[in-house]
Structure 1
Amino acid sequence: MDFYAELEARGLVHQATDPGLGAWLAGGSRTLYAGFDPTADSLHVGHMMGLITLRRFQKARHKPIAVVGGATGMIGDPSGKNAERNLLDKAALEHNVACIAKQMERFLDFESGAVLANNFDWTGGWTYLEFLRDIGKFFPVNVMLQKDSVKSRLGSDAGLSYTEFSYMLLQAYDFVHLAREHGCQLQAGGSDQWGNITTGIDLARRMGVSSEKLPLFGFTWPLLTKSDGSKMGKTESGAIWLDAERTSPYQFFQYWVNVDDADVGGCLRTLTEVSLEEIATLDASRTENAAARESQKRLAEELTRLVHGAEGLTSAQRATEIFFGAEIDGLDDKTLGQIFADVPTGELSRAQLDGAGLPVVDALVAAGLAKSKGEARRTVEQGGAYVNNRRVEGLDRTLTAANLASETVIVLRSGRKKYALLRLV
């Protein structure tokens, strides 16, 4: 199977401007680009399709350019949006660009052919009159009005500001600049970028950049969505970020472990480099024994390793084991808080751990795992009380500073899965 055929087999080709794109790609090393607007100081799961697709091209000996939109990010792409974004100032955008560039190094090898570019470098020096004279005159307004991203907003209550209307002009010129300076002939993006991509090709033709000697192409991948049509990478608490400070490796790992059976096969195909043969085997195992969640575990391992490295994956796997009963020690408050984010927390004075220590019966009551000391005693006597996932063997057990699982926290458990944290401050 050739490279483009594999993209199609993985469901990564949504639209293409030319049916001969596959043959053109097979004809040699090609340069392509995809853009990423720095609206935050971290990329999120929604960006992974683009990053991993560029990674596939680089591994197939093509040259990817990741364009961070220092200029377009000041405006915000109206595609798929029902209201205008908050505009960011230059300092905030520069910070975001620097953070995102660092994250991209996990996906692309910038020392071996991949290029990181910022479109502010070639648009930031324009005056408004220069932009209208040199670029704007090539854009027929009637064509722009036919783009879906424009039509949908013009028909909405929010409308479309002139600022957002100008977004496609800036993005279109990116393709012109990259074709001139880097010989870039292919722009890739999510399916919501089809209008912007075709506009770029049209601008290059009108400006004499695109020709028989330098034909330009475009293709889109499908948006990363669940089977019910909702965006993937969103939870009740917000987006799943690629920055470990925003979304810990454990939380990131758990998101993929909990992907629905209806969605996991598609995620394995589009987001990982797991072979199609192995994915077919995982599909079959899911049919036979869905409860084992082998597909989800494979997905979580691959993506966590890619985004957070081997160390992040090990940390996430250990945290998962802890939640399911592995003994706990040597962690920090933040990690424990993430692992046990949804369990109740009690609080006592740190002084309770001094001297003879805190009776475990009192600790169970303080943490809310028992309503009374009598209930706590019965839990201990029946062998159902645990401190840091180690069974409590007697009623005379007391807790001291040596029992802290982190700086301030002791993890208590009643029965198999009823957890609580006791914070000593």
Structure 2
Amino acid sequence: MSEVNLITTLQNRGLIFHVAHENNLKTLIKNNSVSLYCGFDPTEESLHIGHLLPLITLKRFQISGHHPIVLIGGATSLIGDPSFKHQEREMHGHDNIDCWTEKISKQVSYFLDCHSNNKKALLLNNNQWFSKMNIISFLRDIGKYFSINTMINKSAVKTRISRPDQGISFTEFSYNLLQAYDFFILHKEHNVSLQIGGADQWGNISSGMHLIHRKTKQEVYGLTMPLLTQSNGIKFGKTELGTIWLDSKKTSPYKFYQFWMNIEDSSVYRFLRLFTFINLSEINKREEEKYINNGIINDKIFLARTMTRFVHGEKKLLAAERITEFLFFKNISHIRESDLQQLQQDGIPSVQIKTIIDLQEALVLSSLATSRTQAKTMISANSISINGIKVNKNCLLKNQEKLFGKFTLLSRGKKNHCLLCW
């Protein structure tokens, strides 16, 4: 990817929602190596799948020879960004924030080159400057540049003010100024000329641009990426079962893999453009041929493999594929104990079993059947399998049914499973 075409390439991939001073920004990155940043508030111990888009965009800039900075909001996370939140965020203590900051910093360093001498990514924490600032200095030196009239008309604030059941606290209201000051400090000390973020961050980014212009008379830039929803309206990164985390201890690689496998067909090629580094011409060709030889299914598998490898690495991708083979194709020949532990973590429902039971009772305990009578009918109908093997009569579950002496997979049909954990 050449510098001259970077912004155009991002646009062609659907990665730009807002961009300030577009032509000037294109000229800047054509002729210069720029420093840019994106902020992440450590309000949890892990980033989630919704954070991938800004991380990948930072990586695209780094590949093109620019200098990315990741700003961890050690201070701003104590306040909480109100942007398009229906109610005030839960306040977290310093100990939690410090712990989560360390974990998220490690996650970020996995996606960006933080070690090479040439344009390595820099990780900073805004607590470095906010911990040294007092409220009077902040109000005098920063607050005077902002009009209350303008601030209350920003979409993120206006939405909350219009809801009498929630409103917005002064604490949250001040967040916009804090993030603006982040941009100013990074511009002053690290020559940052561009801030990127999700579309919900445009109000905060534009405030930073305003502050820098008022204090320095210099032009800086802002760029946001779309907040993604699937065609069914579900916010990207969320499922009915909760957030898809990047930490494999919170969301197993198998569940991560299945997230991509289960996206709607209409989203496959858009997500290939947004989240992968595959050439656009190849993606366009795949889309043109999507109805040939199960093309759309193969491309969805390709997307799931690419994203799981990108986030979790080759070994955990292979584990996710082994589990998929085990569940959907009843292939237990290569399954490992660690794979079954992934399933126990969050892959499928599981129940703890302490004594020897028969199959009918196991089906009831696992909620695959509502009663022993229904379980008997299912067994007779040849719709139940143990570890991928069909059974047609009731039996005791003995040691030979326990994989690694610990696990038994019960299945009703192709899609309903439960893991018995002994």
Specify the TM-score bucket, using the shorter chain as the normaliser. Answer: 0.7 to 0.9
Distance (whole Å) between structure 1 residues aligned to residue 26 and residue 76 of structure 2: 30
What is the alpha-carbon distance in structure 2 between the residues aligned to residue 192 and residue 397 of structure 1? 57
Q: Are the structure 2 counterparts of residues 410 and 78 from structure 1 closer, same or farther at C-alpha, using a change threshold of 3 Å?
A: same
Indicate conservation of the 8 Å contact 1:31/1:184, yes or no. yes
Mapped to 2, the partners of 1:374 and 1:285 lie a distance apart of 47
Calculate percent identity across the aligned residue pairs.
39
- Give CA deviations for 1:145-184 in whole Å, capped at 9, x if unaligned: 3322222222222112111111111100111111111111
Q: Distance between the aligned counterparts of 2:384 and 2:168, measured in 1?
A: 60
Match of 1:135 among 130, 136, 142: 142
By how many angstroms is 1:281 displaced? 2.4
Q: TM-score, normalised by structure 1?
A: 0.87
Q: How does 1:6-405 map to 2 (within 5 A)?
A: 6-20=9-23, 21-112=25-116, 113-157=120-164, 158-208=166-216, 210-211=217-218, 215-288=219-292, 293-324=297-328, 325-327=330-332, 329-332=335-338, 334-338=341-345, 341-342=348-349, 345=351, 347=353, 349=355, 352=356, 362-363=358-359, 366-368=362-364, 371=372, 386-390=385-389, 400-405=398-403
Distance in 1 between residues matched to 2:187 and 2:379, nearest whole Å: 75
Distance 1:15 1:396 in 2: 62
Task: Give the number of equivalent residue pairs.
Answer: 405
SS of the residue aligned with 2:408? strand
Structure 2: distance between partners of 1:196 and 1:123? 17
SS of equivalent to 2:60: helix
Distance 1:397 1:186 in 2: 66
Say if 2:407 is the partner of 1:409.
yes
Distance 1:241 1:385, change over 3 A: closer
Structure 1 residue 254, shift from structure 2 partner? 0.2
RMSD of aligned Cα (Å): 2.8
1:417/1:167 CA distance change after superposition, 3 Å: closer
Contact map agreement 2:349 2:418 (CA 8 A) in 1: no
Q: CA deviation at 1:284?
A: 2.4
**Structure-2 separation of matches of 1:403 and 1:396:** 13
How many angstroms does 1:223 deviate by? 1.0
CA distance in 2, matches of 1:376, 1:267: 40
TM-score by length of 2: 0.87
Give the letter aligned to residue 331 of structure 1.
E
The amino acid that maps onto 1:147 is K
Q: Does the 8 A contact of 2:399 with 2:405 survive in 1? A: no
User: What's the offset of the Cα at 1:186?
Assistant: 0.6
Contact persistence 1:364–1:376 (CA under 8 A): no
Shift of residue 249 of structure 1?
Answer: 0.3
**Alpha-carbon contact 1:17-1:218 (below 8 Å) kept:** yes
Greater Cα radius of gyration, structure 1 or 2: 1
- Which amino acid is 2:121 matched to? A
Distance in 1 (alpha carbons) for counterparts of 2:40 and 2:283: 29
2-structure distance, mates of 1:248, 1:31: 34
* 1:293 counterpart SS class: helix
The answer to whether the Cα contact below 8 Å between 1:33 and 1:187 also exists between their aligned partners in 2 is: yes
Shift of 1:342: 4.1
Which range moves more in the overlay, 401-410 or 296-305?
Answer: 401-410
Deviations 1:203-241 (A, max 9, x none): 112212x42xxx311111111222244311111111111
SS at match of 1:312: helix
CA distance in 2, matches of 1:290, 1:55: 32
Partner SS state of residue 117, structure 1: strand
Worse overlay, 153-162 or 62-71: 153-162
Q: Distance in 1 between matches of 2:110 and 2:142?
A: 35
CA contact (8 A) 1:323 1:339 kept: no
The amino acid of 2:150's aligned partner reads V
Between the aligned partners of 1:137 and 1:323, the Cα distance in structure 2 is: 61
